[in-house]
Structure formats: C-alpha cells, structure tokens
C-alpha cells in the first residue's frame, strides 16, 4: 500500500475509471476536453493519468462515473501536483465543490471496496 507516515485526510483506493477533464476558466468557459484514466479515488480527489501536462493550481472540471454506477459525477477540482511518468503524467486533483451527496457516494464506494480487499 503506502510507505511511510500516511498524511492524507481521506482513505483512498486504487480504481480505474474513465475521467473526462476540461480546463475550467472563471467565465466559466470550457476549453479543451481530454480523456484520462484514474489511478485511485478518495472523497477528496483523484489521481489520474493523462497524456498531457496540467499545471498545479489549474482549475478543471472532472466528469466520471464510479464502477457499477449509472449517474455521472461532475466536480470542479484543482490540480495539486503533476509528475511525468513514462508516456503520461500522473496528476493529483483535489475536489473543490462536490455536494454532500457526491461526497457520500464516493465515501461509500471507497469504504465498500476497501472492505472487500481486506477480506481477501
């Protein structure tokens, strides 16, 4: 799992879902749309893999569905880190405006899935 002292506020799990990412401007005007894949998810954000670099501090709109869910989440987020890794970038994003319902849905998914892995 993770080495060293865990400093994250929220539990996260490894999961891969398609994430559509759009740059989010103050207007709000959507600029380029890019498909990405998540590496992990938590109540507070996602770690995604993307072919292009996003600058830390950039505002984005992330659209994704959790596994086995039909409804799509659409959350404004901030890029907190971007690291080059082989043929893509690993980008950490922090959710900024998720609703209590969205937070609950993500939390329940993380708890359910992390419980499944502990039993194995």
- Note the pLDDT tens digit of each residue in 87-118: 899 999 999 989 999 999 999 999 888 877 55
First to last CA, the chain: 15
Domains and CATH numbers, the chain: 12-119 (2.40.10.220)
How far is the C-alpha of 1 from the C-alpha of 62, rounded, in Å? 25
How far is the C-alpha of 40 from the C-alpha of 6, rounded, in Å? 15
Give, in degrees to the nearest 5, the angle at Cα 15 between 41 and 84.
Answer: 75
- 3-class SS of residue 64: strand
Q: For 9-60, what is each residue's pLDDT tens digit?
A: 777 778 888 888 888 766 554 445 667 889 999 999 999 998 888 999 999 9
Range list of β-strands (E), the chain? 12-14, 18-24, 30-42, 45-50, 59-64, 73-85, 88-95
- State the pTM of this model: 0.79
């Amino acid at each position: 799992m993770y080495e060293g002292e865990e400093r994250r506020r929220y539990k996260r799990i490894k999961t891969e879902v398609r994430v559509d990412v759009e740059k989010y401007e103050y207007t709000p005007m959507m600029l380029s749309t890019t498909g990405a894949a998540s590496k992990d998810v938590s109540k507070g954000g996602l770690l995604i893999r993307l072919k292009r670099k996003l600058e830390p501090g950039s505002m984005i709109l992330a659209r994704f569905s959790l596994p086995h869910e039909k409804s799509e989440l659409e959350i404004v987020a901030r890029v907190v880190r971007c690291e080059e890794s082989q043929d893509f970038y690993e980008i950490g994003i922090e959710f900024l405006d998720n609703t209590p319902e969205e937070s609950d849905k993500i939390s329940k998914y993380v708890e359910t899935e992390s419980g499944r892995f502990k039993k194995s």
